[in-house]
Amino acid sequence: MIQFYILIGVISLVSWLISNKLKSKFKKYSQVELRNGMSGAEIAEKMLADNGIFDVKVISTPGRLTDHYNPKDKTVNLSESVYNQRNTAAAAVAAHEVGHAVQHAKAYNYLTMRSQLVPIVSITSKFSQWLVIGGLILGAASGATGIGFYLAVSGLVFMAFATLFSFITLPVEYDASNRALAWLQSKNMVSQQELAGAKDALTWAARTYLVAALGSLAMLLFWGMRILGGRD
């Protein structure tokens, strides 16, 4: 099991480094005031209107970096700082979340696929690792045959759904950022300096999803080799 703990340690370290870098980027660009003086909420509302979307509400949600788009109730949820502040970071985040609303309105394929996987992953992610470890323990006790093996394989399949979800999330997030940046530039909402800052912030935000996807894949391959590699 030492390899497992090393893998977890490496993934956690990289994730922590990326997360810290992201926080420092948002702190930096939170100090760059927008020349147009608009708040994150106003940016979001204008981008929605410019895309002909009038059935989505922009609301404030508690916390920091809690921004998200909810397709169920059609709300762009902006953290309190993003909702109220008038800086480059707020504009980038607000436009990015509206990018998801635009994806929803245009039935973007990857967003649809991710939404369909949500109820499945919410269940499988709770049991996958327990099934894998439990199956390996039972398999070791019975010579890696019988119910232990099949239990571990079922956990591996559950884990694969989470990995698939992580990789489908990547184009969803990158596309939302691309839509956000394109709109900010085409509508002359930000200066070139502000646009560069928004792009930098969103790039680091996307890297958190990339690390999560690679970490999920690494875990899947690790357990896959332990389960399938040890079978004659």
HSE on the CB side for 227, CA within 13 Å? 28
Residue 30: which of 86, 81, 89 has the closest Cα?
89
| Burial (CB count <10 Å: 0-12, 13-18, 19+), residue 186 | exposed
HSE on the CB side for 183, CA within 13 Å? 25
Q: Is 97 a catalytic residue?
A: yes
Q: What is the distance between the alpha carbons of residues 193 and 179, in angstroms, rounded to a whole number?
A: 18
Choosing from 42, 45, 97, 194, which is the catalytic residue? 97
Q: What is the distance between the alpha carbons of residues 55 and 73, in angstroms, rounded to a whole number?
A: 10
Sheet holding 68-70: strands in order across? Answer: 57-61, 75-79, 68-70
* Active site positions, annotated: 97
